[in-house]
Amino acid sequence: MSRRAKGRLKGALVAPLMAAFVWVVSGCTSANRHADQVAAAAGLDRAVVQGDGFHHVTYSRIVPNRPLLIYLDGDGLPWTRGGFDVSADPTVRHPLALELAAHSNSYSVLYLGRPCYYGWADQPECESADWTSRRYSAQIVASLVAGANRFIAEHAVQQAILIGHSGGGTLAVLMAPHVMNLRAVITIAGNLDVQAWTRYHGYLPLTGSLDPLREPALPEQVMELHLTGGRDREIPPALLTPYLAAHPHAQHWRYPRFDHYCCWADTWPELLPRLVRAALP
């Protein structure tokens, strides 16, 4: 093979790798910038808090004498496009829970970032399993609980509600028994039967993760409200059926025209007061 041909071959091999690298880096940067912009526009203050073994990026606002809504986002991007390689940064590209927090104007708000998200994936505390197979592990849950409880204690919060979208709903239910002054947990398209979800999509089992369906029932004083969209193909409402059967006191609110993302943010200012009234009777 001539030197020129070898050069063309090398260029053909390197170019896709460089393009993928640029896409990953620019995607991570733009995701972080987008989150900062959404939070700043809503008057939410950015901080980094210490959990239990992990750091968490937070966006928050305190409104005196109002309940605290603690928002948790979905799984983001655990894998790169195609699902074969672990992502270098799992940061959520469409942070629906953050958008909902931004629409929660009259309430105290804590958007609690997941471990290793928002620029922390390359820190020594993080391993790729923390956003792939162990994304719902006891260690992840404990660190989120520590971050939430620290905020609750520092601001003397008397009433807290956990609100999680997708995989954030999984974590909200797993956190619920351990969060101080918690009154309710609300999930939106929550992944509450992890084994069924991985089978449905043909994913690898999440070895090392907890599964809400297979955990003890929540304390009686914690109300459960689970919202599903009839057009959701990521977590179809039918996947919630075993969890609801095992937790007869949980409420299920159905929205036939909604999917995994649409149209929760648009209706949130109207829907949220109804949810809070149901959670804090």
CA distance 204 to 161: 32
Mean local confidence (pLDDT), 165-171: 98
Q: What is the pLDDT of residues 180-208, one digit of tens each?
A: 999 999 999 999 999 999 999 999 899 99
pTM: 0.90
Q: What confidence score (pLDDT) does residue 28 get?
A: 54
Return the structure tokens found at 168: 């954030």
Per the structure, the complete domain to which residue 154 belongs is given by: 3-279
Q: What is the CATH number of the domain that holds 155?
A: 3.40.50.1820
Amino acid sitting at position 193:
D
| Domain tally, the chain | 1
Mean local confidence (pLDDT), 134-159: 98
**Is the sign of the CA dihedral 60, 184, 267, 65 positive or negative?**
negative
Mean pLDDT value across the chain: 90
Helix axes 138-154, 167-175, angle to 10 degrees: 70
